[in-house]
Structure 1
């Protein structure tokens, strides 16, 4: 009797395992390379990109993860529990393929190019997830990752929750009468500021928060001089927390360029967690809302009317 029950349990477990491995069978994903990628097995997935990892955990798929990159900082269990394949822009092909993955999900911009070339020629399906810094781009990122993993219903659940939070953010943003000018500074290198222009995550998060990017004459990141800083007239400097490499408020206020702007006069320096602020994962609406309240304290709601649909949703099953 006990033997029969044990045998039944083994067979049932085996059936579940086979069903899980085959869940994504027959799926085709159109990725950032404008290619169709056939996905047959998601049982051993490697995630390269913090937003991808965050989405996978939000969808309850962490058991299928066999490796993550160093930008996978949320949830903390990701880097703690999973093998680390390195920084997303300095990935080792051997480190990834050594985990015997059945699927690789990598955010657009992962590299170096030599590594991506090797991964593309390997027999393991590689899905390059588009990185579009917009509300629509965020929703599509969630849907694509969910589709690749064979959990479209869960992805729609997560997309709906994130969409609701973005809608709530739009309502908050509508209350802003005069957008403040914000300059995102990645670092100060030999006294020169590395600053975000258009077509960056920083530019979009500033706009989502109801502010204006003080830089409007170039795309991407660029080192600018003191005269350009003064001419941009920033009212706030925004940066990210990077441990010992974090930009410090006193360094900004003492900088010759920023000293001639309202940033120094008003001591208006804001720093936030990097993945939270710039990751464009499920928590992006919350990050933009937090930034908005820092920029516009009058928008803070002491009554707690703003409730996150994401925190209330269960999209893990």
Structure 2
């Protein structure tokens, strides 16, 4: 049995860690995924994970060895995903590539596609668990619980969820100190001078709220391209974006853009760029990512480094 660290942990957490280390017995497991669909899982020994947060949670639960394939958004932890078969982008999956891995289970975000690929999985009679897209604290904790049950790792999932909840508690304490919320515009990309910005019901909108900011764009849902007039009218104090290999929105383009130059963000060169999965993935590191954004939005909140309970739990909770 793996030794579980008790550093700064309550006795209850230590006991839970020990329980999580107990070996599990193979059994049929019934779960309810997106849209209320019920699935009975008989074998998870060859699992394909489609969604960076799903993969991250599985590794944190100690079941990464069951993964025979991942999608291209599954980039963390790097050592755990290195060498795994890649079945393509979350929404542009290769059905043949997935089926060719002979999976006994596919666990995918509900947004995975295209539709034809999902239909091919069903035609091949491969059990498919679709995980609901819910960009919220509860949604993340429910995601951990669902994946834990599906992978027969419920004690470890309870341990991890408890740690993530502690990180959310600390984030709430930090957020309560914000007296004047700043206006944040999340820009997904800047193509031909046109910005694609996040509105309501997006992961970006929620991460802004968790960080103590307010979304500068509130008149539409999802991600849409906006014109220069809309950028100026939004009056963002800060522009937030993600780092990626293709179509990245870099600081130089932001500083040179005529519309952003007329905003408070442009005047103050307030530009934040972070790793996409870390910032928007809604996995175990989400409270820590939101805390990092908060301290960038409000430098006065910066405090001595507070360790992430979730990252520590990834070692303590694994069997």
Return the TM-score normalized by structure 2. 0.90
| Cα distance in 2 for residues equivalent to 1:147 and 1:55 | 12
The aligned length equals: 295
| Cα distance in 2 for residues equivalent to 1:244 and 1:101 | 30
Higher relative contact order (CA 8 A, sep 6+): 2
Q: In 1, are the aligned partners of 2:285 and 2:311 still within 8 Å (CA)?
A: no
Shift of 1:264: 1.2
Aligned: 1:139 with 2:147: no
Greater displacement, 90-99 / 118-127: 118-127
For residues 187-211 of structure 1, the C-alpha deviation after alignment (integer angstroms, 9 at most, x for no partner) is 1121111000010000000000000
Shift of 1:258: 0.7
How do 1:74-223 and structure 2 match up within 5 A?
74-223=76-225
Determine the structure 1 residue equivalent to 2:311.
Answer: 311
| Cα distance in 2 for residues equivalent to 1:53 and 1:297 | 32
Shift of 1:123: 1.6
| Cα distance in 2 for residues equivalent to 1:79 and 1:311 | 17
What SS does the corresponding residue of 1:288 show, helix, strand or coil? Answer: helix
Consecutive aligned runs of 4 or more in structure 1 exceeding 2 Å deviation? none
Aligned: 1:281 with 2:283: yes
Shift of 1:79: 3.5
Structure 2 gaps, min length 5: 1-22
Determine the structure 2 residue equivalent to 1:13.
Answer: none
Shift of 1:291: 0.5
What SS does the corresponding residue of 1:217 show, helix, strand or coil? Answer: coil
Q: In 1, are the aligned partners of 2:184 and 2:215 still within 8 Å (CA)?
A: yes
Q: Give the root-mean-square deviation of aligned CA atoms.
A: 1.2
For residues 37-77 of structure 1, the C-alpha deviation after alignment (integer angstroms, 9 at most, x for no partner) is 01001111110000000000000111111111110000112
What SS does the corresponding residue of 2:85 show, helix, strand or coil? Answer: coil
| Cα distance in 2 for residues equivalent to 1:53 and 1:106 | 10
What SS does the corresponding residue of 1:127 show, helix, strand or coil? Answer: strand
Q: 2:245 aligns with which of 239, 243, 246?
A: 243
Structure 1 gaps, min length 5: 1-18
| Cα distance in 2 for residues equivalent to 1:156 and 1:195 | 36
How do 1:49-88 and structure 2 match up within 5 A?
49-88=51-90
| Cα distance in 1 for residues equivalent to 2:35 and 2:87 | 22
Q: In 1, are the aligned partners of 2:190 and 2:247 still within 8 Å (CA)?
A: no
